[in-house]
Amino acid sequence: MSNIRVFLAGACGKMGMEVIRTILDQEDMEIVGAADIRNQGIDIGTILGMSRLNIQITGQISVDSLQKSKADILVDFTNPQSVFSNAKEAIRAGVVPVIGATGLDGEEISELEELAKVNNVGVFIAPNFALGAILMMKFAQETAKYFKHVEIIELHHDNKLDAPSGTALKTMEFISQNRKPMLQGHSNEYEKIPGSRGGNINGIHIHSVRLPGMLAHQEVIFGGLGQTLTIRHDAYNREAYMPGVMLAIRKSYKSADFILGLENLLD
């Protein structure tokens, strides 16, 4: 069986470099291309501080660059603006995009789904690749059957662009499957400072914290009579995401399925 050929978008970013290091340790995968707005023309091995890999960093993702590399999978951890364009190029090239960037809106996701259907190409999109984070969401979903009052606090590094995080929104969706929209707190509650109570979807308040020293953290706090239940996940480094990324690559290889969320790959 031939190796899974992976092209990296955002290869010089922290997540991109971690993905490359991890793939280099896999027996069934190989890196065949790398793109980034930085360090173009430089061998990706040099960027990683190792021997040359004979793969030069290119610029914008295109159908031509993907087809020339004979890639099977495009892994993209760039940003919502780039990832949408990159995914469309991948689909047109017959390459399955595995997307880790959050921020795609419903209209963009629908457009990708339609394009994938026309081209008979799979797509995988996940707001979080940490297996522990997926379990946190599933535990919160189950807890919502018994505790209806809940708030979500997500905490990330200060360079994160979007708020709330995709994980927080996905958690809200999971909870909402077992909890009808309802008012929480006092009916006459008011904010002395606008935004003090965070965002509000279906009566679930979501709070976003952005501070240096953090990576990715979230807690879901449920309240009941005389008790609270807190479910929390912490990712302390980017290695936490790698088992999930490798799982997504393997499951997406030669797939024509459109999949939203890593939870759909778990037994």
CATH number of the domain residue 221 falls in:
3.30.360.10
Are 150 and 248 in the same domain? no
Question: What pLDDT sits at residue 1?
Answer: 66
Q: Which two tokens stand for residue 121?
A: 């190409």
Number of domains in the chain: 2
Which backbone phi and psi does 79 adopt, to 5 degrees? -145, 165
Question: What would the DSSP string read from start to end of 65-122?
Answer: HHHHHT-SEEEE-S-HHHHHHHHHHHHHTT-EEEE------HHHHHHHHHHHHHHT--
Judge contact between 1 and 78, C-beta under 8 A. no
Question: What pLDDT sits at residue 81?
Answer: 80
Are 171 and 66 in the same domain? no
Is 160 catalytic? The answer is: yes
Are 117 and 137 in the same domain? no
- Rounded to whole angstroms, the Cα distance separating 183 from 204 reads 8
pLDDT in tens, the chain (267 residues): 689 999 999 999 999 999 999 999 999 999 999 999 999 999 999 999 888 999 999 988 999 999 999 999 999 988 878 899 999 999 999 999 999 877 788 899 999 999 999 999 999 999 889 999 999 999 999 999 999 999 999 999 999 988 999 899 999 999 999 999 999 989 899 999 999 999 999 999 999 999 999 999 999 999 999 999 999 999 999 999 999 999 999 999 988 999 999 999 987
Run of H or E including 199: strand 199-201
- Measured from the Cβ of residue 78, the count of other Cβ atoms closer than 10 Å reads 24
Are 15 and 56 in the same domain? yes
C-alpha to C-alpha distances, 6 to 52, 67, 216, nearest whole angstrom? 17, 12, 26
Run of H or E including 206: strand 204-210
Are 192 and 64 in the same domain? no
Run of H or E including 131: helix 131-143
Are 160 and 249 in the same domain? no
80 lies in which domain range?
4-125+239-265
The one catalytic residue in 156, 170, 217, 233 is 156
Question: What pLDDT sits at residue 161?
Answer: 85
Question: What pLDDT sits at residue 266?
Answer: 85
Is 156 catalytic? The answer is: yes
The one catalytic residue in 138, 148, 157, 160 is 160
Are 169 and 222 in the same domain? yes
